[in-house]
Chain A
Amino acid sequence: MVTAQSQPQSKETEQYDVIGTRPIRHDGVDKVTGAAQYGADITLPGMLAGRVLRSPHAHARIVSIDTSKAEALEGVLAVITNADFPRASDEVIDTGEGTAQLNWVLDNVIASDKVLYKGHAIAAVAATDHHIAEDAIELIEVEYEVLTPVLDVRDAMVDGSPLLHDSLHTGEMDGSKSDNASNTASHLQFTKGDLDAGFADADVVIEREFETSMAHQGYIEPHNGTAYYRADGTLDIWTSTQGAFVVRDSVAPLLQLSPSQVKVTPMEIGGGFGGKIPVYLEPLAALLSQKTGRPVKLTMNREEVLLATGPTSGTYMRVRMGAKRDGTITAADVHLAFEAGAYPGSPVGAGAMCALAPYDIPNQRIDGYDVVVNKPKTAAYRAPGAPQSEFATESVLNELAEELGLDPLEMRLQNACEEGAQRADGFTYGVIGNVECLQAAQDSPHWQSELQGPNRGRGIAQGFWFNIGFESSAYAQVNGDGTVPLVLGSTDIGGTRASIAMQLAETLGISAEDVHPHVVDTNSVGYTQVTGGSRTTFAGGWAAYETAMDIRRQMEERAAQIWECDASDVTYGDDAIIRGPADEDGNDQQFTFKELAAQLVTSGGHIVGRADVNKTSSGPAFATHIVDVEVDPDTGKVDVLRYTAVQDAGTAIHPAYVEGQMQGGVAQGVGMALNEEYYYDDSGDLKNASLLDYRMPTALDLPMIEPIIVEVPNPGHPYGVRGVGEVPIIPPAPAVRAAIANAIGVHMNELPMSPRAILDATVLGGD
């Protein structure tokens, strides 16, 4: 392999040989040549095609389902409904980036007594080909009692609103539950200081209301799932997932199998962004295979993806913030109501913790509400909850700066959290790069430039995201030629084979090309949490570091055995030279890594290093974005002219992939800002369930996004990694809003800020 080192290493990573370089990714050739195997590529002998019948209604009681005509169709081998699954309890299971009640997981996979959103699965068939399967689902007769849909989060919270779940009561943080059933699943509150006193201290107070639309993760590869239930009671699943172990641990209880009976093979993945964590098709394929004894493959089309998977929450938010004339923020009161979709579990908790996270504000109150509505059950989406809550708070902060006549970047610096600052939820920051990001933005060519021309404006915003750690496993064997296969359990979405392999290579002192990373099934590696939470390079890299240290210890022992000395007298140096004591003649004894590798087989066998790490720590990420836009006042269209994204990566292991994550996050954030929305009619029918009408930005809609990587190493990681994937989706919407306001003097309070919305707010003059 060729190592592309056209770009110099950054200052922070000069101490490293591999980290900070830009090797070609190990999986690159397979992807470029089309050899990489995705879920839909699976073909097995005797495999059946499955298809799912979906609800035409947003809210209805299922009176009856008659599958007899479908079952009678030639070529149909099985038809299943919710009733064919074992009864699921209300036990809570780990669903990757959260938890959920098992019966709600099942009901979302296939509806029981009610359908709760358009596209909700009702039945599934397995047939000898997909044409027959399509015909078969049309023969299934379902009788519905159509109910009034609940489509707006505020309507859903009102007493007397139609209820989605009669058994749902509002949970409070103290564990209490409301007396009456409600669509509000939970309420949480974080407070700090004295809110009234804080507002009394303020010279200026601004309060704004915001609404944001549901938005989909927009991965290009649709969901798929293939299952083969064998005669011996073991179940094989091949699927596109961010977490093979989460699939295993969701499917096993749904079918009342032991996890040891289920093997999940994560195929290559065409994007996930959080939305490929929940199970949708896998349990259906598994049960259809159990019924037929044959492998069954299910795939979704684009309409099904948009109707029934993802998205992130639509919201109603209200923010009141006060500051002194000098720019000191004295108080902030934040109200967040998040749509969970059909079942509880919106990311409002994370949104609440992030809302004011970049700022040291003495007096705060943050309320969050998790609310069910007749829309698809929300899934994690890149920094779940934060793009919404920080849109609201950053927007009000920008307006405060404008009102006070202050530079919005200076005002952020003035109020920025630094080490030791405590959030309202109680977390105290260690070493963070919040201020460093703001300073790098201030020094950037973009911020230093003048913006000229009519209808043009500039905006800025800050973003915060936690990042997470949790469990990752790895093992690696030293081969006789000095190469090292590295076995991982993390689906590689953003180049993590490379970023993890590079940390193993750095620790062993060998090249990235001598490490061969492989992502394997759940029986072939230790437990590994989902690829999500910006955790994979952090925790996977830590596991690779521990694996390499295990190899180093064993190689020291082996060298000691060869030299017939004590292992404590042997040292594995960071230069990959293994040094022992002088021999009888007084000569230095040493092996290079490759020399010792060549002697392993004859000196006692191969060496296998292994590690399983479970880290509750993480390295918080901050980002500062600057955007210039031009607004066409006649059409309301916003063109993004220039974009600069600054972000603290801790240590950038593979800077090209860090930049790619930053640019990808910006692209998705700009999509949420400008055009992406779930467009429902009054009956709860999603009218834009296609990528034609669900408008994600194309290459022509974005300028080159200029990344500036800041490196404030995370002291809580062997190589200073923080995690980079999520935070860049957060600042785009508030930055674009500020730029639009700067261009045409209008503050938009809804997402997306589409041409229609901008015309309505300007020349078409409100409602």
Chain B
Amino acid sequence: MQAVKYARAESVEEAVSLLQDGGEGARPLAGGTDVIVQARERTRDIDLFVDIKHIPEVVSISHGGDGSLTIGAATPCYEIYGDDAIARNFPILVDSTSLIGGTAIQGRASLGGNLCNSSPAADGIPSLIVLEAQVEIAGPNGRRSVAVEDFCTAPGRNVLGDGEFVVKLHFPAPATGSGARFLRFIPRNEMDIAVTNAATQLRLDSDGTVNWARVAIGAVAPTPLLVADAAAAIVGQPLSEDTIAAAAAASSAAASPITDMRGSIRQRVHLAGVLTERTIRQAAERAA
């Protein structure tokens, strides 16, 4: 690591202007659990960190009167899983934020950082996708919003342009009868990166019919994937072994992973199905 400059932004506007002036070597700094390591190991050329975690709206949690939720991009994981209303209404966010890194990392690491690091194996992103999160981005041209499933474009890459950074994440209120679950597979029980992960949110009618669903899988493609075919396989009828198996098969079919030190192609294709099945069953338990 070389000596780097550090600037603390007090407002969104100041952060945008610092990032714009800093050019390609400027990076927003939230928890820093990815970017500081990348700078130290020289896997990213960074000469300016713009610290955004002193901007109030970037580190806040607010619950709307309609049950919607807004989380500042730099809000640390421990504040998210420690929020009673999130634990009650969005338990899938607890699933994800309590798995990212370890306890010490969770004191700093954020969902915004997890999203902007744009790893295919990110443990935050599949949950954001099934919750239909919208990403609020600030930049030189003001603010814009992007659906989270459209945010990542390739491993380590995303739609952010020069001078842009993620301010917050918006979550619509879960409708009555909703349940959501995130799971990942790792060879150990802690401190690991997903071989494959998956999230499901579904909504059950009073008669048990699945009337809406979203399924997302990770670490099986260049970006986390929204798998429409898996959701379609379970929507319109009560859950059954057949529909769940069809959804699992759809996830396996959507997966196009690589073989690396964390998993093989066929292992990941298989696990995409296994985890899809398990998240559907456990999401349904939460919905009930």
Contacts and interface: CB of A to CB of B under 8 A. Distances in A.
B185 A635 contact: yes
Interface stretch (B19-27, B83-91, B155-163, B258-266): B258-266
A695 B189 CA distance: 11
A695 B187 contact: yes
Interface of A: 131, 134-135, 634-637, 674-675, 679, 687-688, 692-693, 695, 697-698, 700-701, 754-756, 759-760, 763-764
A763 B263 contact: no
A675 B189 CA distance: 12
9 contacts: A131-B2, A636-B267, A674-B187, A692-B193, A695-B192, A700-B190, A754-B187, A755-B267, A764-B266
Given A635-B271, A692-B192, 9 more contacts: A131-B3, A635-B274, A675-B188, A695-B187, A755-B187, A756-B267, A759-B267, A764-B266, A764-B267
Contact of B270 (A687, A695, A763): A763
A140 to B, nearest CB: 16
Given A131-B2, A693-B261, A700 B267 contact: no
B261 A688 contact: yes
A697 B260 contact: no
| A697, A700, A755 pick with most chain B CB within 10 angstroms | A755
Contacts of B262: 693
Given A131-B2, A635-B271, A764-B270, A679 B261 contact: yes
A645 to B, nearest CB: 21
Q: In the A-B complex, list the 7 residue pairs whose CB atoms are closest, starting with the nearest.
A: A700-B189, A679-B261, A688-B261, A687-B261, A700-B190, A634-B274, A756-B267
A701 B185 contact: no
A759 to B, nearest CB: 6
A675 B2 contact: no
A759 B270 contact: yes
B44 to A, nearest CB: 15
Contacts of B187: 637, 674-675, 695, 754-756
Nearest to A752: B187
Contacts of B266: 759-760, 764
A700 B99 CA distance: 13
A393 to B, nearest CB: 27
A681 to B, nearest CB: 9
A724 B191 CA distance: 30
Nearest to A674: B187
A763 B271 CA distance: 11
Contact of A698 (B1, B191, B264): B191
Interface string B272-284: 0010000000000
B209 to A, nearest CB: 27
A695 B195 CA distance: 13
Contacts of B3: 131
Interface string B189-210: 1111101000000000000000
Contacts of A679: 261
A697 B267 contact: no
A698 B188 contact: yes
Contacts, number: 60
B198 to A, nearest CB: 12
A636 B270 CA distance: 11
Nearest to A680: B261
A756 B263 CA distance: 7
Chain B interface extent, by class: 20 to 34
A446 to B, nearest CB: 22
Nearest to B185: A635
A341 B42 CA distance: 29
Given A692-B193, A701-B189, A756 B274 contact: no
Contacts of B190: 698, 700-701
Contacts of A131: 1-3
A756 B264 contact: yes
A764 B273 CA distance: 13
A335 to B, nearest CB: 29
Contacts of B2: 131, 134-135
A700 B185 contact: no
A375 B64 CA distance: 58
A61 B1 CA distance: 30
A305 B188 CA distance: 22
A756 B196 CA distance: 12
A406 to B, nearest CB: 34
A346 to B, nearest CB: 24
Nearest to A693: B261
A265 to B, nearest CB: 30
Contacts of A698: 188-191
Contacts of B192: 692, 695
Contacts of A755: 185, 187, 195, 267
| A637, A675, A756 pick with most chain B CB within 10 angstroms | A756
B157 to A, nearest CB: 21
B191 A692 contact: yes
A187 B2 CA distance: 50
Interface string B72-109: 00000000000000000000000000000000000000
Interface string B1-38: 11100000000000000000000000000000000000
A600 B113 CA distance: 70
A246 B2 CA distance: 37
A695 B188 CA distance: 8
A700 B191 CA distance: 10
Nearest to B189: A700
B46 to A, nearest CB: 14
A763 B185 CA distance: 17
B241 to A, nearest CB: 14
A701 B185 CA distance: 14
Contacts of B1: 131, 134
Contacts of A634: 274
| B187, B192, B195 pick with most chain A CB within 10 angstroms | B187
A634 B262 CA distance: 17
B255 to A, nearest CB: 14
A131 B274 CA distance: 47
Contacts of A135: 2
B188 A700 contact: yes
A220 to B, nearest CB: 14
B216 to A, nearest CB: 19
Contacts of B261: 679, 687-688, 693
A147 B59 CA distance: 53
Given A634-B274, A759-B267, A764-B266, A687 B260 contact: yes
Nearest to A694: B261
A695 B260 CA distance: 14
Nearest to A686: B261
A190 to B, nearest CB: 37
Nearest to B196: A635
Contacts of A692: 191-193
Contacts of A637: 185, 187
Contacts of A688: 261
B121 to A, nearest CB: 11
Nearest to A765: B266
A755 B190 CA distance: 15
A687 B263 CA distance: 12
Contacts of A697: 188
Nearest to B271: A635
Nearest to B191: A698
A760 B259 CA distance: 14
A134 B39 CA distance: 13
Contacts of A635: 185, 271, 274
Nearest to A755: B187
B264 to A, nearest CB: 6
Contacts of A687: 260-261
A671 B261 CA distance: 16
| A635, A675, A695 pick with most chain B CB within 10 angstroms | A635
Contacts of B188: 675, 695, 697-698, 700-701
A135 B1 CA distance: 9
Nearest to A759: B267
B25 to A, nearest CB: 16
A131 B193 CA distance: 30
